[in-house]
Amino acid sequence: MRVGCVAYVSRLISLNKPMHLIANLGVQLQICAVLTTIVCCHQQAIAATANRLRDDFIAASQFDPEFQAAIAQRDAGLELQEQAQATLLPQVTASFQRSINNTDSRSQTVLGPIDRSFQNYPAYSASLQIRQALYRPKAWASLAQSRAQARYAELILQGAKQDLGLRLIGLHAEWAAAQVAREAAQESIVILRQLASIVLRQFDAGDATKVDIEIAQSKLAQAQTQLAESQLALENAKLGWAQITGRHDPAGKPTSFNLIKDSTQALPERSFSAITWHDRAAQRLPLNYPSLQSIQSIAIDNSPVLQAQREAVQVAEAELRKVAADHYPVADLFAARSKSASAQENTVGTSFSGAQVGIQVSVPLYSGGAVDSAIRQAQANLRKVQNDLQAAINRLNLQIDRDWRTLEAARVDVSAQARLLEALIVVTESTVRGQTAGIATTVDTLQAKLQALNAQRDLARATSRAVVAWIRLMGASGLISEETLLELDKLIAL
């Protein structure tokens, strides 16, 4: 930029331009300096917002309470496998008891009763037992079930990660659209006030009616309502973003979310402003699927929600095997060692020492129908989970169909609004030139600017719909990740 300014000055001097042009060189250099500053600031802003989506996603994964709850749920689910494995490992128990006793006894003999009394004598007993399961069908079924539950917990966490990405990008899309809508509403209010004042002057001159005044005032009121609504949406998006990421507004009061949980380091400050989308952001959204059917097929295989539901079916099947195992016998290998002294009233003063090694077999004979009832209950639960899986597949297909068509419609809307905006910019420039030439009025220019602002607002909203529909498609396929958001940053964010 500075090189261009110097070249421009040299060119004026070399061409022997009039002195009044050269006298204006100071002003022109100031303009060049301002433009240079703007370009540098813009480049700094781009550098500051680079990787914004990915960095926010990382921060949210470390802070968001819902995602932290999902992590805790995953951790709890993994412990079930440890617990099930423990039932198949050797169980070692030890016990020791010591007491001071008083015993009075009477024995009947042929010679008559004999009374005995023992006062304050010590008694103790100690034992050590080792037990190893040999045949426990229920424990084996519990182990298989716990493995399915561990996989289920991992998949639920993956689903929560996809949901986190959906919520984060949805807030960014809402934030960006609300930012543009607010700016458009603010500029529209200024224009509508000018138009209202023009109508009042025309009314005083007899060229307008009371109806024209009321229409102008109602349009101004509508613009003020749109400003209030966009401001509300903007503040809601900011608050939602802060609650998910734990970040705060550097220019305002810090929220209570400026630190990562369980961390002493604050997150790096970010510009508390909306992301600016590329004008062709909707067309730049990466979607490597040739058809709706292809993405539905991939989502059915890769969706964490469906994968978790399939594991839920495995859990229900293992539960059925586990309750049915109550019909089978149980065999354990055990070894024990014990030692006691005066452990009972009739063995006062006597010591015992013993050792045991053997196999214990327990055979269920009759439980009053409880086992059969539990089997029927497990079968019913299995049918429920299987139908839940099919219902989840149906919901996913419906969601993908809706989001696919929403994305296509939003892309068409973005193209239409972009063309309309380009046309209105040309119209605005034409009316400005026409006003200079005397063939257009101030009202024409203001109306053209107003239409351009409305088109700009509608373009931002259509882009927001496209981004939300795209991220929902990615989430349905389980493809939301740091790498995905980094690519999205590079493609559609300015």
Domain boundaries, the chain: 1-49, 56-84+139-328+368-492, 89-135+329-363
Dist. CA 417–CA 28, nearest whole Å: 36
Q: Rounded to 5 degrees, what are φ and ψ at 102?
A: -125, 125
User: Structure tokens of 433?
Assistant: 């030139």
> Looking at residue 25, what is its pLDDT?
41
Dist. CA 389–CA 152, nearest whole Å: 13
Dist. CA 166–CA 469, nearest whole Å: 10
Q: 267 pLDDT exceeds 50?
A: no
Q: 295 pLDDT exceeds 60?
A: yes
> Looking at residue 494, what is its pLDDT?
74
> Looking at residue 343, what is its pLDDT?
63
pLDDT tens digits along 417-459: 999 999 998 988 888 888 788 887 888 889 999 999 999 999 9
> Looking at residue 346, what is its pLDDT?
63
pLDDT (mean) for 123-128: 90
pLDDT tens digits along 169-199: 999 999 999 999 999 999 999 999 999 999 9
Dist. CA 372–CA 196, nearest whole Å: 82
Q: List all residues 6 or more positions away from 142 whose beta carbon is below 8 Å from its beta carbon.
A: 84, 87, 318, 322
Q: 85 pLDDT exceeds 80?
A: yes
Q: How confident is the model at residue 378 (pLDDT cuts 50, 70, 90)?
A: very high
3-state secondary structure at position 270: coil
Dist. CA 322–CA 371, nearest whole Å: 10
| Burial class (CB within 10 angstroms; exposed 0-12, middle 13-18, buried 19+) of 368 | exposed
Q: Whole-number mean pLDDT of the chain? A: 84
Q: How confident is the model at residue 205 (pLDDT cuts 50, 70, 90)?
A: confident
Comparing CA positions, the residue from 229, 261, 356, 312 lying closest to residue 67 is 261
- Counting Cα atoms < 13 Å in the Cβ hemisphere of 16 gives 0
pLDDT tens digits along 385-397: 999 999 999 999 9
pLDDT (mean) for 68-78: 95
The CA-based angle 387-393-382, given to 5 degrees, is: 20
> Looking at residue 54, what is its pLDDT?
92
The CA-based angle 279-280-282, given to 5 degrees, is: 120
Cβ(493)–Cβ(49) below 8 Å:
yes
Cβ(176)–Cβ(282) below 8 Å:
no
Q: 35 pLDDT exceeds 90?
A: no
Dist. CA 336–CA 207, nearest whole Å: 112
What is the layout of strands, in order, in the sheet containing 330-341? 91-109, 112-135, 330-341, 351-362
Dist. CA 259–CA 248, nearest whole Å: 9
Q: How confident is the model at residue 7 (pLDDT cuts 50, 70, 90)?
A: very low
**Positive or negative torsion for Cα 36, 37, 41, 42:** negative
Residue 28 Ramachandran class (φ > 0 left, ψ -120 to 50 alpha, else beta):
alpha
> Looking at residue 46, what is its pLDDT?
45
Q: Between 330 and 99, whose confidence is greater?
A: 330
What does the radius of gyration of the chain's CA atoms come to, in whole angstroms? 39
> Looking at residue 117, what is its pLDDT?
80
Q: 133 pLDDT exceeds 80?
A: yes
From first CA to last CA, the distance across the chain in angstroms is: 21
Comparing CA positions, the residue from 182, 194, 183 lying closest to residue 220 is 194
**Positive or negative torsion for Cα 238, 244, 249, 253:** positive
Q: 135 pLDDT exceeds 50?
A: yes
Q: How confident is the model at residue 235 (pLDDT cuts 50, 70, 90)?
A: very high
Q: 21 pLDDT exceeds 60?
A: no
> Looking at residue 367, what is its pLDDT?
87
User: 112-135 and 330-341 as β-strands: parallel, antiparallel, unpaired?
Assistant: antiparallel
Does domain 56-84+139-328+368-492 sit in CATH 1.10.569.10?
no
Q: 107 pLDDT exceeds 60?
A: yes
Q: Rounded to 5 degrees, what are φ and ψ at 134?
A: -105, -45
> Looking at residue 272, what is its pLDDT?
66
pLDDT (mean) for 100-107: 78
> Looking at residue 32, what is its pLDDT?
44
Residue 301 is which amino acid? D
> Looking at residue 256, what is its pLDDT?
40
Lowest pLDDT segment from 118-122, 269-273, 299-303, 402-406: 269-273
